[in-house]
Chain A
Amino acid sequence: MKGGAPPLGQPLMAGLEVIRVQALAPATTLLWLKAPEGFPKPFPGQFAKLRALGPPQIPLKGGRALLDKPFSFHGADGDSLAFLIREVGTETAILATLSPGAKVRLTGPLGAVRPELSGKGPLLLVAGGAGLGPMGMFRAQGFGPISLLYGERDASFQVGQGFLRGLADRVLPFTDDGSGHGEKGLVTQGLERELKADGPKPLVFCCGPPGLLREAARLCRERDVRLYVSAEAFMACGLGICLSCSIPAKGGGRVRVCVDGPVFPGDTAFP
């Protein structure tokens, strides 16, 4: 690559230093990387591909993955970039065991810029499991108040309340089996209740498994509430070339989760 900073929003590829690693739950880690100079400011919902460089610090059952894996930006404060890592396979397990000073290859920021995800007024964040990933990006966007509905299967996956309170003004955690802090039940039950409440209609942003996104879309459509969802699909390149993550768009045609999304208006695209 030629010298000089890339134009605004242009993704770059670089080896970045790990500056902090924070365990949030047994399988969830917050990874802070040192931002390279001139790194474009990521927007909520944008993501980066990450790959731990150097020899892994854990025994591997098989080989390393072929492809760098995509993670939503959880935070970006100029000097550092944060990602929420949920351990689901070899590469996420390696990332979770890195120590400060280790190097991570980053390609980003990737994904479409959604100006709709900054603005005034109430914001309702709905996170299912690893869908908590992008929820740290909204504090700086001007919204208020921000409420966070956060669902997990059980207490063993749940992130602590102290951390969650940093993300929103009001936090409503759920576990499917009631074993964790907060309520027993599905996060969509909370969403339904919130949407029925009096007061100004919030903007809703939802990230999580496909079933959650579909149910959120149904609930928001019923009450005519604006919804944005962060879709997920296996992506090989993350750059719009392989079409692995191409999904049908409502009303015809197709969209690529990696470059046309991953954030879509809730009524136009579903994973």
Chain B
Amino acid sequence: MAEPDLSTDLGFLTLKNPVIAASGTFGYGLELLPFCPPEALGAVIPKGVSLAPWAGNPGPRACEASGGLINAIGLENMGIERFLTEALPPLKARGATVGVNVLGSEPEDYPRLAERIAGSGADFIELNISCPNLKKGGLSFGQDPNVAGSVIRESVAAAKGIPVVAKLPPLVSDMANLASISEKSGASAISLVNSVPALAVDLATKGPKLANVTGGLSGPPIKPLALRQVYVASGAVSIPVIGMGGIFTAEDALEFLLAGASAVQVGTATLADPRAPLRIIQGIGDYLRKTGESLRDILSQRLPKANSGLCSGPPPATKGTK
């Protein structure tokens, strides 16, 4: 049988396969060469960058919890200038599709970063407005739909045609609304979910396990939550949704595609096994060969509409029973 076509069309970009390396879990793109060459993936999103280099948080920065990983790295990064001169060119030279994840301490930082990336050769920009380690007044920018909307609008204007993807937080009061505002503000796509605010307590020291006290939970425990948010968000927008949250296997990835995603990001799985993204691409191909479907068949299937509320209410009264 012919190799299945794994390409996925995001509208602004066609990926050779639907698996993207998630920001913060693929270094600056070349560290994993012995295990996972970046050009083999649909796209890579290197470690998020800010206007100036950031030192990040003190350690301990991460710990395992309930089958997942809690991190508070604190967005340590080399800064946009070094990134554009040192990290991006070798990735592009290898033929990798590269999204540049950007982060700011102020909403105004985002359009300035987008402006700097315009003309750099990057394939798209991902706005990190959702990191639990990046907060203003206790909330990530993305949790306030008004702030999210203006950050996206101004970044899109500054990016001069480079597509802008908004990376959204998992815990918001109305995911459909935030997704819709992202679309109306000019985002070419949305990616979700970022890690989930979380806490690990050390009974031995009666203190927190992380120096930052709280962090972001990722990995298998957040997958059902992420699937639900991808499902809700994709029902509210016509731009593509890039799904992520605990994807460790090809089956996980396919579930996200059925829930409404057009592509997926693999993150924590790569930390556990640097070959994970390649394994997942291979597994999607194996699945399609087995079922005789195309990726397009998977992407055109959608789950049924859900009840509007989480509770279905009391059962309707029935007649004619004793």
Distance of A87 from chain B, by nearest CB (Å): 15
Distance between A22 CB and nearest chain B CB, rounded to angstroms: 28
Complex interface: chain B residues within 8 A of A244 (CB): 59, 61-62, 71, 73
Question: With A10-B34, A241-B25 in contact, is A246–B76 under 8 Å at CB?
Answer: yes
The complex places the Cα of A248 from the Cα of B59 at a distance, in Å, of: 10
- Contacts A11-B34, A68-B272 known; A63 to B56 CB distance under 8 Å? no
The stretch that binds B, out of A29-37, A111-119, A229-237, is A229-237
A42 to B127, CA, bound (A): 41
B4 within 8 A of A: no
B251 at the interface (CB under 8 A from A): no
Least CB separation from B27: chain A residue: A241
Find chain B residues with CB under 8 A from A102 CB. none
Tell me the minimal C-beta distance from A76 to chain B in angstroms. 19
Task: Tell me if B's interface is mostly helix, strand, loop or mixed.
Answer: loop
Shortest C-beta distance, A156 to chain B (Å), equals: 18
Question: In the complex the two chains form, what is the Cα distance from A67 to B25 in whole Å?
Answer: 13
Interface of A is mostly: loop
- Which listed residue, A66, A239, A254, touches B64 by the CB 8 Å rule? A66
Given A241-B26, A242-B62, verify A67-B272 contact (CB < 8 Å): yes
For residue B271, which residues in chain A have a CB less than 8 angstroms away from its CB?
Answer: 67, 236-237, 241-242
Given A65-B64, A66-B69, are A240 and B31 also a contact pair (CB < 8 Å)? yes
> Quick one: closest A residue to B58, CB to CB?
A248
Which residue of B61, B66, B69 contacts A246 across the interface (Cβ within 8 Å)? B61
Whether A12 sits at the interface, judged by CB under 8 Å, is: yes
Q: Is the CB of B274 within 8 A of A13?
A: yes
- CB of A236 within 8 A of CB of B71, answer yes
Of B63, B219, B273, most A-chain CB atoms within 10 Å: B273
Contacting residues, chain B, for A65 (C-beta < 8 A): 64
Residues of B within 8 A of A248 (CB): 55
CA distance A107 to B273 in the complex (A): 9
Q: For residue A10, which residue of chain B has the nearest CB?
A: B34
> Is residue A247 within 8 Å, beta carbon to beta carbon, of the partner chain?
yes
> Is B68 at the interface (CB under 8 A from chain A)?
yes
For window 80-94 of chain A, which residues contact chain B by CB distance below 8 Å?
none
Q: Which of A63, A66, A240, A259 contacts B272 (CB 8 A)?
A: A66
**In the complex, what residue of chain A is closest to B221 when comparing beta carbons?**
A66
Chain B residues whose C-beta falls within 8 Å of the C-beta of A241 in the assembled complex: 25-27, 31-32, 47, 270-271
Q: How far is the CB of B214 from chain A (nearest CB, A)?
A: 16
In the assembly, what is the distance between CA of A13 and CA of B47, in Å?
Answer: 24
Q: How many residues belonging to B are interface residues under a CB distance threshold of 8 Å?
A: 33
Q: Bound complex: CA of A247 vs CA of B60, how far in Å?
A: 9
A2 to B133, CA, bound (A): 38
Distance, CA A10 to CA B274, complexed state (A): 14
What residues on A are CB-neighbors of B64 within 8 Å?
65-67
CB–CB B275/A247 < 8 A: no
Compute how far the CA of A202 lies from the CA of B26 in the bound complex, rounded to whole angstroms.
Answer: 41
Q: Answer yes or no: B262 CB below 8 A from chain A CBs.
A: no
Q: How far is the CA of A239 from the CA of B268 in the complex (A)?
A: 13
In the complex with contacts A66-B68, A67-B69, A241-B271, A254-B76 CB distance below 8 A: yes
Q: List, in ascending order, chain B residues with CB within 8 A of A12's CB.
A: 34
A135 in contact (CB, < 8 A): no
B67 close to A (CB within 8 Å)? yes
In the complex formed, the residue of B with least CB distance to A240 is: B31
CB of A236 within 8 A of CB of B59, answer no
**CA separation between A12 and B31, bound complex, in Å?**
14
Pick from A234, A237, A271: contact of B63, CB below 8 A: A234
User: From A236, which residue of chain B is reached at the shortest CB distance?
Assistant: B271
Interchain CA distance A212-B49 in the complex, whole Å: 36
Which chain B residue shows the least CB distance to A7? B34
Give the complex CA separation of A67 and B268 in angstroms.
Answer: 9
Chain A 104-157 interface residues, beta-carbon cutoff 8 Å to B: 107
Cα–Cα distance between A65 and B65 once the two chains are bound (Å): 9
Smallest Cβ-Cβ distance to B71: which chain A residue: A244
Q: Which residue of B lies closest to A65 (CB)?
A: B64
Per the bound structure, the CA–CA distance linking A12 and B60 in Å amounts to: 27
A64: nearest chain-B partner, CB-CB: B67
- B12 within 8 A of partner (CB): no
Asked if A52 is at the interface of the complex by the 8 Å CB criterion, the answer is no
Q: CB-CB < 8 A to B67: which residues of A? A: 63, 66
Q: Give A245-271 as 1s and 0s: 1 = Cβ < 8 Å from B's Cβ atoms.
A: 111100000100001000000000001
Tell yes or no: B216 within 8 A of A by CB. no
Which chain B residues border A67 with CB–CB below 8 Å?
64, 69, 271-272
Q: How far is the CB of B94 from chain A (nearest CB, A)?
A: 16
A243 interface contact, C-beta 8 A: yes
Interface pair B69/A233, CB less than 8 Å apart: no
A113 smallest CB distance to B (angstroms): 15
- The smallest C-beta distance from B179 to any residue of chain A, in angstroms, reads 28
**Choice from A1, A233, A242, A271 contacting B73 with Cβ under 8 Å:** A242
15 contacts between A and B (CB under 8 A): A66-B69, A66-B272, A67-B69, A67-B271, A234-B63, A237-B270, A237-B271, A241-B25, A241-B31, A242-B73, A242-B271, A244-B61, A244-B71, A246-B76, A254-B76
Task: Other than A66-B219, A67-B69, A243-B76, give 9 A-B pairs with Cβ distance below 8 A.
Answer: A1-B35, A63-B67, A66-B68, A66-B272, A67-B272, A241-B32, A243-B56, A244-B61, A254-B56
